[in-house]
Amino acid sequence: MNGLKKHARGRAPIDLPDQLAEAGFPSGAGVGSLTGFVLLLFITAFTALYLVTTGPLSLFGPTPPSKAVPGGVAELQRRTTTSLAQAVATAVTGNTGELRVAVSSGVLDTADTPTVVRTLSKAYPVWRSIAVVDTRTQKALAQCGDPMPYQGLLGGSGGNVTVQAVARADGLTMVLTAAPLSGSRAGQLLVAATALRAVSAQLDADQHQNLRLVTAGGKVLETHGDEPAKDDPGTRGLVSQAVSAAAAGQDGVLIGPTQGTIAPVVSYAPVTAGDIAGSLGLSLVSVSQVPLEPLPARYPGLLPAAALLVLAAGSTFLLRKVVVTPIRQLRADALAVASHRLDDVVRRSRTSEVRRAAKALEVVRIRLRHGKPLVRRQNRGVSAHLVVALVSLALLGWSATVALTLGMHGTAISPTLVSNHDLRVTHSADTVQRSLDQGLYELREVARLGEGKTPGRLSTMLGELTAGKTRFRSVYLTDANGKVTLNSGRDPFRDQRTLPNGEGIRQDNTSGRLPVVFAYEGMPDGQTLIGEFDVTWMATLLKPAGGRVRLVDDGYRTIADTQGYLAFAVLPEGPARDEVALALAGDDAKETTDSAVIGAHGLTDPGGAANLHWAVVAEQPINALDAAGTAERDGGRVAALLTAVVAILLYGWHFLLVLRPLRRVALAAQAIADGDLTSVGYPQRQDEIGTIASCLELCRRALLGQDVPADSTRLPCLIGTDNEV
């Protein structure tokens, strides 16, 4: 003992802080609380700025009105107009396929042009006028039907079919379609004129919706709904802007100034077709008077953000006060004792984990000064572990509160949104039915022109029906026994069995890897012309409705699907299936659930497709409708989730990187104070707690009488090794 005292008296203080280096981020007792505070500040800003019903940028603009047109309504109007413009383009260019078939049929091979025109007039009764025009003389070699201004089609089509819409003096809009001829008729055009097929779009009478087909010059060719003359000057200005934008190839929506309880909404889209020559120069413009709806609270996130800010500041202050500051004080005292500055008493802490280590360090200091430690009563302090847990629980409580309030906020579905969605579903069903019936019509015309033709000529005609992205995947002829004799396109999937005389559209199977849906037309020679519809093409027709759209039969089996397609997958029990049952019965079928707007419509219009007993059902997620409260609900959930993650991160960080190492250091200090000088201490991390552990190891060596050199190059080598003499 005397030797130990003598050895201790001769020991000179050493400068340890410069020799016990500590790593930077993410090490350090205060890094966790500081990082958590910064993250909570970001979440606070997100909650305050993002949860604004009129958008974050509105904070810097004028105060919005208390009522406005729902954003989802305007977007649905734009989508509807765009899909209708595509339907108009299909109607305008509907004669292109018929002209190609007529050219490939061989009817024009004869030099008797008047006979050719009469033959085509009988084969295509819907053509109001037919002419064969010589482009060199710019005169019609033969013409049948009403006069038509074909001069605008003589500029050359580069081998492609040319289409042009022309308004007659009597107000009827005619579509002129010209196909260039080849061979002996090179330099001639086959021109057909038909009346524009009106798009049967169901309009919203409550919104006084008006649909107009307009030329680039602003002339209205077709109109449906309320008359354009009822427009006010402001609406007429919006229509002029819409026509100019659509003529430039743009689509969009314009919202006019409020007029009492309503506001004009003008949506527009160009009518374009990529497989024809020339420019149609048409635009589709929709004008609606949409009722205004009250806007929800403008700043629903301010109160939660303020609460989170207070919680973040209070939690950080508490963690720094109970955890960080006591550890740093203990580090300073440990460095003083290990550096042989033994006059100052080791400070006690109110944190129980630090208090235990400080008491043991004070015992070591007294022993190094050759005194006898006093046995003092151990007072229980505040548990740092408990404080960290309470802070995390407080943050989780905020997260749960926001999730159960803002996160569960009911989304206000505007009746206008539901009505617009129902109109889109109806339009999709009409588009599918018209397209299927148009396929049957094309087969009928090929059957008329193909009577008595050679197999080679028939093969060319059938090839025109399957060329490019068409409705038919396969078109073929069968004999009286149902055997395929001539095929164009992909291999037929239909079972080879006989069909009844006449024509129609049928579904061939109710199971298998692919639905087989076909149209058929009987020919006078006993053969049957059959066209199998492409399922991918049918799914394309469904996409404009928005969301997940399915085409199902009367057994609730899926025929086509825009998402996750599985042939003949049975529609599960639920609202969608219930709406299909109503639609197949001819009733109104639309419903709003907590997560989606569901609408269904049957293919019930007279025609061949009506015999299929199909229905279109669309499920549009409410999130995609931009309904009032959607952004608030989603933002609340995001803020709650982020805060919960920060709370768990904060607890895990402090428990694993601060509290557990601190507990180990306290146990090591207590062992040294109790006289155990054989256990070597190892600093596990290069931070404040690691420094305390290193200081305790130096104190243990000092109690054993071992010299620790002041040379910083040798000090790291001694810590954590057993060099007892």
Rounded Cα distance between 592 and 411, Å, is: 11
Quote the pTM value.
Answer: 0.67
Answer whether 687's CB lies under 8 Å from 29's CB.
Answer: yes
Q: Which of 74, 71, 642, 77 shows the shortest CA–CA distance to 411?
A: 71
Tally: H helices and E strands in the chain: 18, 22
**Predicted pLDDT at 577:** 92
CATH no. for 78-90+205-292 = 3.30.450
**Predicted pLDDT at 314:** 94
Rounded Cα distance between 226 and 171, Å, is: 17
CATH topology match: 78-90+205-292 vs 113-195: yes
DSSP helix/strand/coil, 345: coil
CB-count exposure of residue 546 (10 Å: 0-12, 13-18, 19+): buried
**Predicted pLDDT at 317:** 94
Structure tokens at 6: 């003598």
Rounded Cα distance between 56 and 34, Å, is: 27
Q: Which of 163, 169, 178, 6 shows the shortest CA–CA distance to 92?
A: 163
**Predicted pLDDT at 454:** 78
**Predicted pLDDT at 563:** 87
Q: Which of 259, 616, 596, 272 shows the shortest CA–CA distance to 430?
A: 616
Structure tokens at 574: 């639920």
Q: Which of 261, 263, 173 shows the shortest CA–CA distance to 213?
A: 173
Name the CATH architecture for the domain at 113-195.
Answer: 2-Layer Sandwich (3.30)
Q: How many residues does the chain have?
A: 725
**Predicted pLDDT at 70:** 65
The parts of the chain modelled with pLDDT lower than 50 are: 1-10, 55-58, 60-63, 65, 277-278, 711-718, 720-725
Q: How is the chain split into domains, by residue range?
A: 2-47+303-405+642-718, 78-90+205-292, 113-195, 415-625
DSSP-derived secondary structure for 595-647 = SEEEEEEE--SSSGGGGG--EEEEEEEGGGGT-BTHHHHHHHHHHHHHHHHHH
Q: Which of 546, 687, 566, 563 shows the shortest CA–CA distance to 625?
A: 546
DSSP state for residue 346 in the 8-state scheme: P
**Predicted pLDDT at 395:** 95
Answer whether 692's CB lies under 8 Å from 357's CB.
Answer: yes
In 339-373, alpha helices (H) = 352-368
**Predicted pLDDT at 48:** 84
